[in-house]
Amino acid sequence: MWSQKWVLGNWKMNGRTARNQDLLEGILPQAACGVQVGVAVPAVYLAAVAATAGQALWAGAQDVSRFEADGAFTGETSAAMLADAGARFVLVGHSERRQYFGEDNTVLAEKLHHSLAAGLVPVLCVGETLAERDVGEAEAVVARQLAVLKDWRAEGVAVAYEPVWAIGTGRVAEAAQIAAMHAFIYRQILSLCGEGAKIRVLYGGSVNAANAADILAIPQVDGALVGGASLQAEPFTAIIQAARTAAGALS
């Protein structure tokens, strides 16, 4: 458990130059003090977002190439390029990448390694589908996804638990389900990476202005990964405020 909470937005494939600027101007006054705020943006906007964000807010990417070195990999963006453009973190293995691009642990291990080597914080996204939860497989699925961290020191990596059935659906996991899965993830990380391992675990899945305070008050929740509600300044800043209050209550 960490005293500072993180609130990371995921813009997915949304944004335009002028709209991004307006959104950032709405967020930035809330971004300092006590909470680490970031936004994972489409790669094409990364440099502009990083320039506007300055030190107050982390610009991040939503994906990174599995290839490390420059070369003949048309359409790819390497970890070094993301860092060069101002990224501080990168989402790795978001469920939409697993679903639409077939990303598996072999590919994700490469992405994690290259991100760390480039000085980025990789945020490894894990989570089960509703069908998997319904047949009692949720922990087994998440354990298989976390196995990509096996034998790493794993410092500098964060994990986001995002039940697939809660992403973009308006359906949020119950507090007890979140607390239990986060506790399971901590135990898995200790057994995979060694007893000293210290990894931040965020929750994601329909976090919004109305439910953020309850979710962020769960002691096992070190922050939130926010999709839809990060696309407008008002709900996103309300979530940041909830994180600040929750962190204050813990310290």
Active-site residue set: 94, 162
Q: How far is the CB of 208 from ligand PEP (least distance, A)?
A: 8
**Using CB under 6 A as the criterion, what x/- string covers residues 159-188 for binding ligand PEP?**
---x----xx--------------------
Q: How far is the CB of 127 from ligand PEP (least distance, A)?
A: 9
Among the listed ranges 54-62, 79-87, 199-207, 242-250, the one in contact with ligand PEP (CB under 6 A) is 199-207
The first and second tokens of residue 163, run together, are 């039940």
Q: Which of residues 152 and 203 has its CB atom nearest to ligand PEP in the complex?
A: 203
Rounded to the nearest 5°, which phi and psi values hold at 5?
A: -95, 155
Among the listed ranges 80-88, 102-110, 176-184, 203-211, the one in contact with ligand PEP (CB under 6 A) is 203-211
Q: Which of residues 184 and 236 has its CB atom nearest to ligand PEP in the complex?
A: 236
Using CB atoms, what's the residue nearest to ligand PEP? 227
CA distance 88 to 58: 6
Question: Per 3-state DSSP, what percentage of the chain is helix, strand, and coil (rounded to 5)?
Answer: 45, 15, 35
Q: Which of residues 41 and 207 has its CB atom nearest to ligand PEP in the complex?
A: 207
Residues 6+ apart with CB under 8 A from 53: 24, 28, 31, 39, 59, 86
Rounded to the nearest 5°, which phi and psi values hold at 181?
A: -70, -40
Q: Look-up: residue for tokens 């922990």?
A: 139
Strand partners, 121: 89
Q: Which of residues 223 and 227 has its CB atom nearest to ligand PEP in the complex?
A: 227
* Residues within window 205-234 making contact with ligand PEP, judged by CB under 6 A: 205-207, 225-229
How many Cα neighbours within 13 Å face the side chain of 125?
26
How many Cα neighbours within 13 Å face the side chain of 213?
8
Q: How far is the CB of 230 from ligand PEP (least distance, A)?
A: 7
Residues that bind ligand PEP (CB under 6 A): 10, 162, 167-168, 204-207, 225-229
